[in-house]
Amino acid sequence: MATLYQKRNVWYLSVTIDKQRISKSLCTKSKSIAVKLKAKTEYDIINELNGINISSLNLSFSQLSRRFLESNSHWSKSTFETYNYILTDYVKGKPLPSNPTSRAIYVRHINACWNWGLKNRLIRHAHKLTGDTKGLARHRVFTKDELNMLFETISDINFNQFVRFAYYTGARSGEIRAISRDNVKDGYLVVNGKSGLRMVKMNTQAQEIINSLESLWSYTKSYVSHKFKKEVRRLGIKDARFHDLRRTFGYNLIKQGRPIYEVSKLLGHSSVTTTERHYAPLLTTEIEDFVL
């Protein structure tokens, strides 16, 4: 016999077979959701009462996230850092970001961990987050005056060079934060990108910076983010993020007349379609007036 009931506004399901009884929380205050969850939960409880354990483990999210991070050795360093940062925040009970795009990134990464747990039979139920997983497209680029302010007034010389190098190459923060001399080739870098190893072209400006450094950078993701935010606030540059340097790099190349295929290769995009999707909205504003 299966019975739905409420306890402190949360719905539970109780199943009794041969005088043995198991109750489980459905983790919801909504009766309609509880009704939808009833069949699957009842099935799991019946199996458990009959000695058929559907899942050998039922890890907490803290335990699950540790297993998840340890199991994905194929990830790039930047991907691991992103997952580690987000999952650690979630385990600590920190609220999700208010920014729609940042919130979507959190939801997407947290739900990926839950899905992995189900697939590997480490949990019985995935308490996935609801909401947007794509976020709003960001189109912020720096003006020439803003770039000049950054390059001329960041007093920390090493970080100044890091910012300029990021703009001159269009590389992601994670691709250049911890490169070694072994990564530096004649006119290009070999970096670990989002989809594996890729080559980053260095123009003359970027080569001058890399050749002038006694040692290459060793920054963490959080250091770059916080340091850059501090600098732009000091300069009064509004709504600015480090990744906007990469977007500005691509935007300025296209404005100079560089073919979209060439820009796509320089950015390390998987296809020209990706580049067009990111930059078409920006370039719409550059279309000259026309008469129909």
Q: Please state the domain extents for the chain.
A: 2-49, 61-119, 144-284
Under DSSP, is residue 102 helix (H, G, I), strand (E, B) or coil? Answer: helix
The rounded average pLDDT for each run of 10 residues, N- to C-terminus, in the chain (292 residues) is 82 82 80 84 76 65 92 78 94 92 92 90 89 81 96 96 97 92 92 85 96 92 93 96 96 92 92 86 67 70
Nearest to 267 by CA among 291, 241, 245: 245
Query: Can you tell me the distance from the alpha carbon of 42 to that of 2, in angstroms, rounded to the nearest whole number?
Result: 7
- Measured between its terminal Cα atoms, the distance across the chain in Å is 73
Q: What is the pLDDT of residue 221?
A: 87
CB 241 within 8 A of CB 140: yes
The residues, ordered by sequence, that sit 6+ positions from 170 with a Cβ below 8 Å of its Cβ are 200, 245, 246, 249, 250, 253, 266, 267
CA dihedral for 177, 180, 182, 184, sign (positive or negative) = positive
Q: What is the pLDDT of residue 290?
A: 61
Q: What is the pLDDT of residue 287?
A: 58
Q: What is the pLDDT of residue 10?
A: 81
Domain 144-284: assigned CATH number: 1.10.443.10
Q: At 233, which amino acid appears? A: R
State pTM to two decimals. Answer: 0.62
Query: Can you tell me the distance from the alpha carbon of 75 to that of 203, in angstroms, rounded to the nearest whole number?
Result: 29
Query: Can you tell me the distance from the alpha carbon of 170 to that of 229, in angstroms, rounded to the nearest whole number?
Result: 19
